[in-house]
A and B are shown apart, each in its own frame.
Chain A
Amino acid sequence: MSFERIKEKLNILADAAKYDVSCSSSGSKRTNTDNKLGDSSGMGICHSYTEDGRCVSLLKILMTNYCIFDCAYCVTRKSNDIKRAAFKIQEVVDLTINFYRRNYIEGLFLSSGIFKSPDYTMERLIAVAKKLRTEENFNGYIHLKSIPGASDELMWEAGLYADRLSVNIEVPTISGLKLLAPEKKHDDFTRPMLKVKNEIVRHKEEKKVIKSTPKYAPAGQSTQMIIGATGESDKDIMYSATHYYKNYNMKRVYYSGYVPVADDSRLPPIGSQVPMLRENRLYQTDWLLRFYGFGVGEILNKEHPNLDIDVDPKLSWALRNLHLFPVDINMADKAMLARVPGIGMKSVHKIVNARRFRKLNWNHLKNIGIALNRAKYFILCDSSHWEHRDWEAAKIKGRILQNSTGKFRKEYSSQLSLFN
Chain B
Amino acid sequence: MENAKTLIYDGSFNGFLTAIFVAFEERAQIADIQKNRSGQNGLFSETETVFTNIEKAKRVWNGIQKKNHNAVKKIYFAYLSETRGVELLLYRYIRKLFANFSTYSDFSDGIVLKISQLAKSVGREKHRMEAFVRFQLTQDEIYFANIEPDFDVLPLISKHFRSRYADQQWLIYDVKRDYGIFYDLERVEIVSLDLNEIYSNSIHQSDRLLVDEHNYQDLWNNYFKSTTIRSRINRKLHTQHVPKRYWKYLSEKREAV
Which chain B residues border A17 with CB–CB below 8 Å?
Answer: 227
Contact of A53 among B113, B216, B237 (CB under 8 A): B237
The verdict on A53 contacting B241 (CB below 8 Å), with A3-B218, A95-B219, A98-B216 known, is yes
- Chain B residues contacting A102 (CB-CB under 8 Å) are 134-137, 143, 216, 220, 251
Q: Are A47 and B113 CB-contacts (below 8 A) given A56-B227, A357-B108?
A: no
Cross-chain contact B134 with A51 (CB below 8 angstroms) = no
For window 78-97 of B, CB contacts with A under 8 Å fall at none
Q: Does the CB pair A35–B241 fall under 8 Å?
A: no
Q: Are A11 and B108 closer than 8 Å at their CB atoms?
A: no
Q: Is the CB of B232 within 8 A of A274?
A: yes
Contacts of B238 in A (CB 8 A): 49-53
Of residues 122 to 150 in B, which have CB atoms within 8 Å of A's CB atoms?
Answer: 127, 130-137, 143, 145
Stretch from A63-71, A127-135, A149-157, A360-368 forming part of the interface with B = A360-368
User: Considering residues B113, B137, B164, B229, which has the most beta carbons from chain A within 10 angstroms of its beta carbon?
Assistant: B164
Q: How far is the CB of B193 from chain A (nearest CB, A)?
A: 20
Residues of chain B from 149 to 171 with CB closer than 8 A to chain A in the complex: 160, 163-168
Say yes or no: B250 contacts A48, CB within 8 Å: yes
Among the stretches A37-45, A162-170, A282-290, the one at the interface with B is A37-45
| Min CB–CB distance A402 → chain B (angstroms) | 23
Tell whether B215 is near chain A: CB-to-CB under 8 Å.
yes
**A354 contact set on B, CB distance < 8 A:** 105-108
Query: Are A51 and B143 closer than 8 Å at their CB atoms?
Result: no
| Interface presence of A36 (CB below 8 A) | yes
Check if B234 sits within 8 Å of A52, measured CB to CB.
Answer: yes
How far is B95's CA from A396's CA once the two chains are assembled, in angstroms?
44
Give chain B interface residues in 239-255, CB to chain A under 8 Å: 240-242, 250-252
- Judge whether A101 and B135 touch: CB under 8 Å: yes
Contact check, A368 vs B113: say whether CB atoms are below 8 A apart: yes
Q: A2-29 toward B: CB 8 Å interface, digit per residue (1/0)? A: 0100110011101101110000000000
- Verify if B43 is at the interface (C-beta below 8 Å from A): no
CA–CA, A59 to B132, complex, Å?
15
Chain A residues with Cβ below 8 Å from B232 are 52-53, 257, 259, 274, 276
- B215-234 residues at the A interface, CB under 8 angstroms: 215-216, 218-220, 222-234
Q: Contact: A50 with B224, CB < 8 Å?
A: yes
B237 adjacent to A3 (CB under 8 Å): no
Taking a contact as CB atoms under 8 Å apart, the answer to whether A357 and B106 are in contact is yes
Which residues from chain A contact B106 at a C-beta distance below 8 Å? 353-354, 356-357
Complex: how many Å from CA A411 to CA B130?
35
A296 to B136, CA, bound (A): 49
Is B185 positioned at the interface, with any CB of A under 8 Å from its CB? yes
A71 vs B106: C-alpha distance when bound (angstroms) = 56
Flag if A103 contacts B216 (CB, 8 Å). no
Report the minimal beta-carbon distance from B157 to chain A, rounded to whole angstroms.
Answer: 11
Point out the residues of chain B lying under 8 angstroms from A50, CB to CB: 224, 227-229, 238
- CB under 8 Å from chain A, chain B span 59-115: 102-103, 105-110, 113
CB of B219 within 8 A of CB of A48, answer no
- What is the minimal beta-carbon distance from B130 to any residue of chain A, in angstroms? 6
Known: A15-B226, A102-B137, A357-B108. A49 touches B218 (CB 8 A): no
**Contact (Cβ within 8 A) A48 B224:** yes
Could you say which residues of chain B place their CB within 8 Å of the CB of A39? 163-164, 166
Interface residues of A in 261-304 (CB under 8 A from B): 274, 276
B242, chain A: closest CB distance, angstroms: 5
A103 touches B145 (CB 8 A): yes
**Which chain A residues (223-280) contact chain B, with CB distance < 8 Å?**
257, 259-260, 274, 276
B235 within 8 A of A: yes
- A115 in the interface (beta carbon within 8 A): no
A87 on the interface (CB 8 Å rule)?
A: no
Q: In the complex, A137 Cα to B166 Cα: how many Å?
A: 11
A233 to B220, CA, bound (A): 39
Q: Which of A6, A56, A60, A101 contacts B168 (CB 8 A)?
A: A101
Closest to A271 in B: B231
CB distance from B224 to the nearest CB of A (A): 7
Contact present for B227 and A14 (CB under 8 Å): yes
Task: Check if B224 sits within 8 Å of A368, measured CB to CB.
Answer: no
**A52 near B229: Cβ-Cβ < 8 Å:** yes
Q: B226, A11: Cβ atoms under 8 Å?
A: yes
- Once A36-B166, A360-B108 are accepted as A-B contacts, the answer to whether A59 and B223 lie under 8 Å apart by CB is yes
A32 within 8 A of B: yes
In angstroms, Cα B234 to Cα A55, docked, is 13
Q: How many angstroms from the CA of A6 to the CA of B234 in the assembled complex?
A: 29
7 contacts between A and B (CB under 8 A): A15-B226, A48-B132, A53-B237, A101-B165, A102-B136, A104-B220, A358-B108
Residues of B within 8 A of A (CB): 102-103, 105-110, 113, 127, 130-137, 143, 145, 160, 163-168, 185, 215-216, 218-220, 222-235, 237-238, 240-242, 250-252
